[in-house]
Amino acid sequence: MNGTDVNLNSINDGNEYSGVPQGECLIAFAEAIVAEEPARIAQARQRLVEAMGEDAMIEAAAVASNFQRMVRIADATGIPLGEGLDSRSREVRADLNLDRFQHRKDTP
DSSP string, 10-59: GGT-TTS--SSTTHHHHHHHHHHHHHT-HHHHHHHHHHHHHHH-HHHHHH
Q: Output the pLDDT for position 3.
A: 83
Q: Are residues 69 and 91 in the same domain?
A: no
Q: Output the pLDDT for position 29.
A: 93
Q: Are residues 35 and 84 in the same domain?
A: no
Q: Are residues 56 and 15 in the same domain?
A: yes
Tally of domains within the chain: 2
pTM of the full structure = 0.68
Domain that holds residue 28: 1-77
pLDDT at 44 over 60: yes
Q: Are residues 8 and 51 in the same domain?
A: yes
- Taking Cα atoms as reference points, which of 48, 42, 2 lies closest to residue 27? 48
Q: Output the pLDDT for position 104.
A: 56
Contact 10, 95 (CB under 8 A): no
pLDDT at 55 over 80: yes
Q: Are residues 104 and 60 in the same domain?
A: no
- Report d(CA 94, CA 99) in Å as an integer: 7
Q: Are residues 33 and 12 in the same domain?
A: yes
Please tell me which residue, 66 or 105, carries the higher pLDDT value. 66
